[in-house]
Amino acid sequence: MAAFRQSTRPALPLRVYGGQARDAARIAPVQIQQSQPGAYGPEMGTYVRLPGANYPPAGSVAVDAIGDANIAPAATATLVTVTVPDTLRFRMVGIGFGADDEVALRFLTWAIRFDGDTRPGYNFVSAAVGSLRQLAEIIVVIGSSQTVTVVGAADANAVLTYRYQCRVRGWFWNEKEVP
């Protein structure tokens, strides 16, 4: 079977060179780009910069934290705690809740707190926003060296002490300045 070789000479008509093929053959070969781009890496390719708050950048660390607590009627408890390391930021992308008895979720409200302070917009939210398998989309960006807690509160009308679970998903990343 004969191997086919691709000509890398520019496609110029021979009439430009007076019909002389040997003169046209003296043109230097042209660099042909590959049809599929290679993987981006530190040693090759073009650096792609996307905001770390929107997309998990290269080098980000995935976070999938699950916690639970038994909450009595009219009481509160911390369900999940995530401590953001120094020099990193945390982007929370999903949150979901569950209970041993799913009917108990109607008695649960939750809040997101940064170092004990309640996050505006996420205070006394109903637990019907997501499940442990199908997380609800959430947009929370937390700075470095902070502790993020999801606190659950049971309604005073709850009959029993219920066990509630919470799952939080996101990533840690480091903002880097590109020269």
Q: Is residue 122 part of a domain?
A: yes
Question: pTM, whole model, 2 decimals?
Answer: 0.70
Give the up-direction half-sphere exposure of residue 86: CA atoms within 13 A in the CB hemisphere: 0
Which residues span the domain enclosing 88?
61-173
Q: Is residue 19 part of a domain?
A: no
What mean pLDDT is reported for the chain? 81
Average pLDDT over residues 85-94: 92
Q: Any idea what DSSP says for residue 105?
A: G
Total of domains in the chain: 1
Average pLDDT over residues 9-27: 62
Q: Is residue 135 part of a domain?
A: yes
Percent of the chain with pLDDT over 90: 46
Cβ-proximal residues to 69 (8 Å cutoff; 6+ apart), any chain: 77, 78, 79, 152, 163, 164
Q: Is residue 179 part of a domain?
A: no
